[in-house]
Every structure is written in C-alpha cells, then in structure tokens.
Amino acid sequence: MSTEDLEKYEAEMELKLYREYRDVVGIFKYVVETDRRFYLCNAVDVKARTEAGDVFFEVSMTDAWVWDMYRPARFAKNVKVLTFKDVNVEELAAQDFEPPKN
C-alpha cells in the first residue's frame, strides 16, 4: 500500500466518522474531551483523585459515543477514563443539536 493510498483511506475514514457524528450528536447531552479522545454522552461524572501525591481525574460516562475512526464499535454503555491531563465537559445547548446540513 502506498503512502497516497493510506492517506486516501484515512481521509475516507475521517469523513465517514464525521458523518456518523453528525447523525448521532442530537441524541447526546454532553461533550467530553480528554487528552486522547472526544466523547458524546448522556451522563458524565468527573472526580479528582489523589494517589501517592499525584492528582488524576476519573471520568465516568454513560451511553457514550467515541470519536475514534479505528474502533469497530463507537457506542459504549459505560466508559471510564483515567487521565493526568485536563478534562473538558460541556453540556450541549438545544441549538447545538442541529448539525450542519450537506
């Protein structure tokens, strides 16, 4: 497989992922962004934890969709993420539920 073929494949996968996001965003209440992933979910709980002097975040999500083009199944009933980096949680407003039309 050439570099060009690989780039074309990844571009097609990213477009497919964006279209799936556009189709499902309306059924979720929260956007959660970690250092490694982007999630949509209907319930989220973030707890700061301390262990051996280090602070980390435990993020629990219910009814989640994961932005990851390499996952065969992007929907998950429960997700737990542990991270030492920032976590951003936003509640989607009603007007955010209307994705752009193509």
Residue 51 is assigned to a structural domain of this protein: yes
* DSSP letter string, 10-58: HHHHHHHHHHHHHHHGGG-SEEEE-SS-EEEEEEEEEEEEEETTEEEEE
Which domain covers residue 72, as residue numbers? 3-93
User: CA 102 to CA 92: how far, in whole Å?
Assistant: 21
Residue 21 is assigned to a structural domain of this protein: yes
**pLDDT for 93:** 81
Task: Give the predicted TM-score (pTM) of the model.
Answer: 0.80
Whether residue 48 contacts residue 35, with contact meaning beta carbons closer than 8 Å, is answered with no
What mean pLDDT value characterizes the chain?
90
Domain count, the chain: 1
Residue 100 is assigned to a structural domain of this protein: no
**pLDDT for 42:** 96
14-35 pLDDT, tens digit per residue, is 999 999 999 999 899 999 999 9
- State the pLDDT confidence band at 71, using cuts at 50, 70 and 90: confident
Residue 98 is assigned to a structural domain of this protein: no
- State the pLDDT confidence band at 100, using cuts at 50, 70 and 90: low
Q: Rounded to the nearest 10 degrees, how much is the dihedral formed by the CA atoms of 71, 72, 73, 79?
A: -30
